[in-house]
Amino acid sequence: MSNDPLERFRVAAAERERAGLHRTLRPRTSGGDGLLDLASNDYLGLTHDPRVTRAAADAALTWGAGATGSRLVTGTTGLHAELEAALAHFTGAAGGLVFSSGYLANLGAVAALTGPGSTIVSDAANHASLVDACRLSRAAVVVTPHLDVDAVERALSTRDTQHAAVVTDSVFSVDGDLAPLTALHDVARRHGALLIVDEAHALGVIGPEGRGAVHAAGLAGASDIVRTAVLSKALGSQGGVVLGAPEIRSALIDTARSFIFDTGLAPAAVGAALAALGILRDEPWRPGQARAHARTLAGLLGDAGLTPNVPAAAVVSGVVGDPHAAVAAQARCAEHGIRVGCFRPPSVPAGRACLRLTARADLTAAELARIAAALASLAPAAAS
């Protein structure tokens, strides 16, 4: 037994290094590095839009740099209330409640709406924030195979608790596939369960106007569906939101620890999200353009010999397999001027390391040609 409390961390770090799982932070510079970005979640190309950044600056000048306190004390401004109303109206929800991040919105929604005496049925591919929320809830948790509606039905029909919730991403964050929301809602309703849907990768991208996968499925008015979403992807800002019935909003205000005990979202982020939402309403071509570009990227990955997903939204992944090979492929893309994501365990299962590309609505024909050339450089490595 070592007397050095840090020894185990050095050993674990060395093991991660050997397995190709070591991670580093690479700060971006304000001037940029010349790489074309296909790694961020800026799906609609709004993060640097002058209308959005100007709104962020105006909000900070008006309301201050920070929210100054929790939402229940001093952290709720008129701007927060305006954003909640706008998000609810846009998505067809009865109401909304803004959190300071999407992660905290998921923690708050799942933990506060379930708890001891409940059963949670969770898709095996759900985002880490949903997994952590299930663990914190103290509910009985049943993890079902990915997209397996029959397994969800079995879990609900054999539960021994009075209350239940089915928890799923609408668009899954790595493979980019779409949950069978209509079937899941039918099953949940038959068994008196809530359906909690994380729309992080769907808001602003899925549906003709980007109103999300629940809206596109015709389920926006269902009172037994709770939606979470983020303001940090398609809306180019920061923060999260829970959308649902008045009873849901009230319960979260009273009981969601990640809402009650957290400082409210900074006014600049609120102002930016409001401006981005206005642009999305005024420029409804953006969601369809992002999805079209995603299909193009998937085709280019296939041409390079990787195994791409069939994108439902803007997330495109190409399976490489070995973590070392995935890191090398990412570096090769950078050498050709393209920044792509590289997902390795534990973000993906063992043997499923992949490149993750994200389409943007504002990609130009010249940029797509540049991307094609970069991905073509992977073909010899993929074939070897």
- Divide the 384 residues of the chain into consecutive groups of 10 and give the mean pLDDT of each group: 88 90 82 86 97 98 97 97 98 98 98 97 97 98 98 98 98 92 98 98 95 98 97 98 98 98 98 98 97 96 88 91 89 93 85 90 95 88 48
Task: Confirm or reject CATH 3.40.718.10 for domain 284-383, answering yes or no.
Answer: no
Give the pLDDT confidence of 133-183 residue by residue, as tens digits.
999 999 999 999 999 999 999 999 999 999 999 999 999 988 889 999 999
Same fold, 50-282 and 284-383: no
Give residue 380's pLDDT.
63
- Half-sphere exposure (CA, 13 Å, Cβ side) for 242? 31
| C-beta separation of 362 from 290 below 8 A | no
In single-letter form, the type of residue at position 280 comes to L
| C-beta separation of 374 from 338 below 8 A | yes
3-state SS of 215-242 is: HHCCCCCCCCEEEEEECCCCCCCCCEEE
CATH of 50-282, one of 3.30.70.1230, 3.30.390.10, 3.30.70.260, 3.40.640.10: 3.40.640.10
Q: Is 283 exposed, middle or buried (0-12, 13-18, 19+ CB in 10 A)?
A: middle
Phi-psi label, residue 277: left if phi above 0, alpha if psi -120 to 50, beta otherwise: alpha
In single-letter form, the type of residue at position 202 comes to A
The number of residues in the chain equals 384
Q: Is 378 exposed, middle or buried (0-12, 13-18, 19+ CB in 10 A)?
A: buried
Give residue 102's pLDDT.
98
In single-letter form, the type of residue at position 281 comes to R
Distances (CA, A) of 213 to 179, 192, 204, 357: 9, 22, 10, 20
Residue 324, helix vs strand vs coil: helix
Give residue 30's pLDDT.
73
In single-letter form, the type of residue at position 179 comes to A
Residue 114: partners with Cβ closer than 8 Å, 6 or more residues away: 120, 137, 139, 163, 165
In degrees, rounded to 5, the angle at the alpha carbon of residue 202 between the alpha carbons of residues 201 and 203 is: 105
| C-beta separation of 108 from 127 below 8 A | no
CA-CA distance, 265 to 215, in Å (whole number)? 25
Predicted structure pTM score = 0.93
DSSP count for the chain of H helices, then E strands:
15, 12
Element (H, E) at 295: helix 285-303
Residue ranges covered by each domain of the chain: 50-282, 284-383
